[in-house]
Amino acid sequence: MAKPRRINVAVVGSGVMGVAHSRAWRLLTVDYDLPVDVGLALLACRNERRTSLQRRYGWTDVTDSWTTAVERDDIDIVDICLPGDMHRHVAEAALHAGKHVLCEKPLTTSADDASALAALANHADSGTVAMVGYNYRRIPAIHHARRLVHDGHVGDLRHLRCSFLQDWAIDLASAANWRMDHTRAGFGVLGDLGSHLVDLARHVTGATFGDPHSGIMTTFFADRDGTPITTDDAFVAAVPIVDGGVATFEASRVAAGHRNHLRLEINGTDGSILFDLTEPHALRTVRRGESGWRLLSGTDLHDPWRKNWMGNPATFGTEFTYEYQALDLIESIHNATPTAPTFADAAAVHQTLESIAASAQTPA
């Protein structure tokens, strides 16, 4: 495939993620000397905000229909930031049209849909890149953790302990939203937060998960102001790791005092690693043969994306993860090299999520 002289991007959607991605694409052109021009060609959203977003981020065109993004020949990347129930339809159309696709997580609302998309992406033109927006993979501390595992720091896995706690839905003051509607979101925190955990666990450790899973899913409020709540407010699950060891996953949106608390711990035969999002610049490690945990932070961590004009690495914000994934997508397309997480990665995540849900027992 001939290297393009310019890569044009269309973002579809203008919610929190549509804005975050718009900013990331704009900053990408500011922060990096890219090997190819990247054009912010089209913002597609039905929301009135599109005009102000166009002005702010410099979108060349706006439209109220996502189909335009798929139909226009000059669009190279369709970046899908829509609610989960629309992902499959839009992604299929984009792949059929030969577009590269970046799709927000979770990829779909079911494992079947995810597998179908993965198969489609796989059979598409080999030059097409399909990537999923599990942005936490690109926190430098997470990247460093993956390298440590790869280099043998932890040995064989014994325990994976993954939790993601939030408290925004702790009481009825939080109105129902689409994440509480099974039809639109698939799962509740299992999909929203659990998918990050499963993706990170796979990414950092390379683990694959066996059977049987077991866990509990809970919905604490049957309805909010008359709207029935049809997704889980919390789940916990224990899952065997193929080749040995046990992974535990937990997420909640009703855990008082936890705003956005992701935590990933790995215990192996030769050492342990702990990442905690309340210390996003840090990683804690220990080796079996050594005394005491070590606290790595800032420039102690390997960061393949950072440039020196981005400020102090010890006080570096995770908002950069969106820019980093955009960078990797561009480089993957330009260099015709693989990147991840792929749609197949996302399908594997969904498979695990559904196994958890299938096995999960709901307390009476």
> Footprint of a copy of itself on residues 19-38 (CB under 8 A)?
19-20, 23, 26-27, 30-31, 33
> What is the arrangement of strands in the sheet containing 37-44, beginning at the earlier edge strand?
61-63, 37-44, 6-12, 77-80, 100-103, 130-132
Span of 78-86, 91-99, 182-190, 310-318 interacting with a copy of itself by CB under 8 A? 310-318
Binding to a copy of itself in span 182-211, by CB under 8 A: 210
The token duo for 153 is 């720091």
Site string for a copy of itself, 79-118 (x = CB under 8 A): ----------------------------------------
Q: Is 341 in the site for a copy of itself (CB under 8 A)?
A: no
Can you tell me the distance from the alpha carbon of 331 to that of 264, in angstroms, rounded to the nearest whole number?
Answer: 28
Give me the residue label for tokens 């598409």. Answer: 124
- Window 124-153: residues binding a copy of itself (CB under 8 A): none
Shortest Å, Cβ 23 to a copy of itself:
6
Q: Rounded CA gap, 286 and 154, in Å?
A: 9
Residues between 311 and 340 that touch a copy of itself (CB under 8 A)? 311-312, 314-320, 322
Q: Select from 99-107, 108-116, 178-186, 297-305 the region that touches a copy of itself (CB under 8 A).
A: 297-305
Nearest to 120 by CA among 89, 149, 146, 148: 89
If binding is defined by CB under 8 A, does position 2 make contact with a copy of itself?
no
Element of type H or E holding 192: helix 189-192
Q: Is 358 in the site for a copy of itself (CB under 8 A)?
A: no
Stretch that binds a copy of itself, among 90-98, 236-244, 326-334, 337-345 (CB under 8 A): 236-244
93 versus 310: smaller Cβ distance to a copy of itself: 310
Cα(175)–Cα(204) distance, rounded to whole angstroms? 35
Give the interface segment with a copy of itself, choosing from 82-90, 124-132, 254-262, 342-350 (CB under 8 A).
254-262
Q: Which is nearer to a copy of itself, 184 or 287 (CB)?
A: 287
Rule CB under 8 A: choose which of 74, 171, 223, 225 binds a copy of itself. 171
How near is the Cβ of 342 to a copy of itself at its closest, in Å? 25
Q: Which residues, other chains included, contact 352 with Cβ-Cβ below 8 Å and sequence gap of 6+?
A: 198, 209, 213, 239
CA distance 93 to 70: 7
Query: Tokens at residue 260, please?
Result: 């956005």
d(CA 108, CA 87): 6
179 interacts with a copy of itself by CB under 8 A: no
Under DSSP, the state recorded for 137 is G
Tell me how far, at minimum, the Cβ of 112 lies from a copy of itself, in Å.
25
Shortest spacing between CB 227 and a copy of itself, in angstroms = 20
**Cα separation of 164 and 185, whole Å?**
18
From the CB of residue 279, how many other CB atoms can be counted at a distance below 10 Å?
A: 13
Smallest distance, a copy of itself to C-beta of residue 151, A:
14
